[in-house]
Structure 1
Amino acid sequence: MKINKILNNNAVMVKETDKEKIVVGSGVGFQKRKNDLINPKAIEKIFILKENEKFEQLLMRIPEVHFILSEEIISYAENQLETRLNDHIHLALTDHLSFAIERERKGIYLKNKLLPEIEVLYKEEFEIGLWAIQHIQANLGIEMSIDEAAFIALHIHTMKIRGGDLKETVKQTAVVREMVDMIEQYLEREISRSGLAYERLVTHLYYMLGRVGHHGAHALDQEMLAMIKKKYITSYSCSQQVTKKVASVFGIDFPEEELGYITLHIERLRMNLLE
């Protein structure tokens, strides 16, 4: 395997069967030139990026240590999740991480408003995010906030091979947050983010949004739905108002059966708040 272009000491480009590939490995590009052979033992990863030009530009403008840290976090994430992440993670996470590190150096801190929801919905990814900020501190001496762990978690979640689009993931998580806020306003009480009832509600809302988006819904017979509406009047009224607002703001319509399930979760929360 011959080097086509050197990106930095730890990343080079090669060309095989008319496809440009990026080879990553410790010292793989150190003191190398174009057309030099790569030591197979130095290769840690090979991947193909459609945005090769963007990746080149990124590596030219960021400190190499940022790229190394990003690759170490990606490797750790893939080992923890036991799955390969989408190749785009190498560009997306490196770009995000480098900007976040420089931001921290300048004393600019970003609050992640979706932190409580991310902790619940993406537990494995959030744990990886926590490891990542500790890893950055150990290597650079920069103490990053728990909010950054949540940002990293979102990137990792959406870059799973079976994952989705980052914007769509953020949107769904934001809708969940809005719904929780609206429930709090209706009940006129603050919901504890550490309770099991809250965790169940958030998880249900998130996966419900996924089902609604794909025109699916939980099956709930009409007799059960009628009983829920009659027995839990306050909670059902709350679910009606919340879903009506979400429909008007985000354009997401909920089947009545889903309102029944939301009602049950709200009722559980309401009972916990009254205790």
Structure 2
Amino acid sequence: MKIKKILNNNALVVKDRDEEKIVLGSGIAFQKKKNDVVDRSKIEKIFVKKDSTEYLQFENILKTLPEDHIQIAEDIISHAEKELGIKIHERIHVAFSDHLSFAIERLSKGMVIKNPLLHEVKVLYTKEFQIGRWAKALIKEKLHIDIPEDEVANIALHIHTAKTNAGDMTKTLDLTTMIRDIIRIIENRLNITIKDETISYERLVTHLRFAIQHVEAGETFYELDSDMMDLIKKRFRQAFLCAREIGKFVKKEYGFEFPEKELCYISMHIQRFYQRSI
């Protein structure tokens, strides 16, 4: 394995037989030059050229972003893989390193980072949010920058999106934003504020996530017969009207349609909040 290009003190492009790879390792490029043999004992991560675009983007990031930012991003990714017990999709190394470096740069200049989906992310992606809090402590230790919980949520979203079969960032944000919009409809309709650190809030958000995912997959995970549906519509009339408003909204804004059985089930969650508001 010989050095083809030095990207920074901790990153190299190498030629391994007939294959080009990017290798990372603390100080792996120190006092090295092109065509030198790589010290394999210093290699921490290897990236094989699968997707040319992503590979070139990662190479460019390694050349342009501050080395300490890249190292922190890689430490967070490694910690996430360990905590989640999975291999995270390689695209995270480009998108997350770039995002994190930009966030650190903004915070170091005193700029404010806000995430309107903070409360939903904390409930929907609990493990990823805890990893984000670990990242917060690491950044504080290494760079003496205290990132806000809004940025912790951004980190959680990047990690969740890069998990196997988690979809892309757009899909993740759409689902999370839809849930936030549904909660706002309930608040406006009932003229209440739903506190995010309550069991009822967590149950509602969790149910909505699984409901959306199951409807998208064409699956049914519970059954309500017509008599039960009629009973819910009569006994929980205001809650059902609110659920029906939610159904119309998500169909118009997201092209997503809840079946009537699901609207009845959502009504039962809404009823809890409605009873406390009267």
| TM tier relative to shorter chain | over 0.9
- Structure 1 distance, partners of 2:220, 2:47, is 38
Tell me if the contact between 2:11 and 2:62 (Cα under 8 Å) persists in the aligned partners. Answer: no
Given residue 12 of structure 2, which amino acid in structure 1 is its aligned partner? V
| Residue 227 (structure 2) pairs with residue 223 (structure 1) | yes
Code of the aligned partner of 1:12: L
Asked if 1:233 is matched to 2:216, the reply is no
- The Cα shift of 1:86 comes to 0.7
Which AA in structure 1 matches 2:30?
Answer: F
Q: After superposition, what is the alpha-carbon deviation per residue over 1:21-48, rounded to whole angstroms, capped at 9, x for unaligned?
A: 2211111222222222222221111123
The CA distance in 1 between the partners of 2:245 and 2:75, in whole Å, is 46
Listed one character per residue, the Cα deviations across residues 43-87 of structure 1 (whole Å, up to 9, x for unaligned) are: 111123522222222222221110111111111111111111111
Cα distance between partner residues in 1 of 2:112 and 2:48 = 33
Structure 1: any 5+ residue segments left out of the alignment?
none
Whichever residue aligns with residue 180 of structure 1, its letter is I
With over 3 angstroms needed to count, the CA separation of the structure-2 counterparts of 1:203 and 1:17, relative to structure 1, is: farther
Q: Is the 8 A contact 1:133 1:149 kept in 2?
A: yes
Measure, in 2, the Cα distance between the counterparts of 1:26 and 1:168.
35
Question: Are the counterparts in 2 of residues 117 and 173 from structure 1 also a CA contact under 8 Å?
Answer: yes
Cα distance between partner residues in 1 of 2:189 and 2:69: 45
- Indicate the residue corresponding to 1:127 in structure 2: 130
Aligned to 1:203: 206
Question: Unaligned stretches of 5+ in structure 2?
Answer: none
Say whether the 8 Å CA contact 2:214–2:220 is kept in structure 1.
yes
* One-letter amino acid of the structure 1 residue matched with residue 142 of structure 2: N
For residue 86 of structure 1, give the secondary structure of its aligned residue in structure 2. coil
Provide the secondary structure at the position in 2 that maps to 1:14. Answer: strand
Does structure 1 residue 60 correspond to structure 2 residue 31? no
Residue 167 of structure 1 corresponds to 170
Counterpart position of 2:150? 147
2-side partners of 1:90 and 1:30: how far apart?
22
Check conservation: 1:89, 1:155, Cα contact below 8 A: yes
Q: Which deviates the most, 137-146 or 218-227? A: 218-227
Instruction: Identify the residue that residue 259 of structure 1 maps to in structure 2.
Output: 263
Does structure 1 conserve the Cα–Cα contact (< 8 Å) formed by 2:190 and 2:277?
A: no
Identical amino acids, percent of aligned pairs: 45
Could you tell me how far 1:92 is from its partner in structure 2? Answer: 1.0
Count residues with an aligned counterpart: 274
Partners of 2:33 and 2:106 in 1: how far apart? 34
Contact 1:217–1:258 at 8 Å: present in 2 too?
A: no
In the superposition, the TM-score normalised over structure 2's length comes to 0.93
Question: Secondary structure, in 3 states, of the residue corresponding to 1:216?
Answer: coil
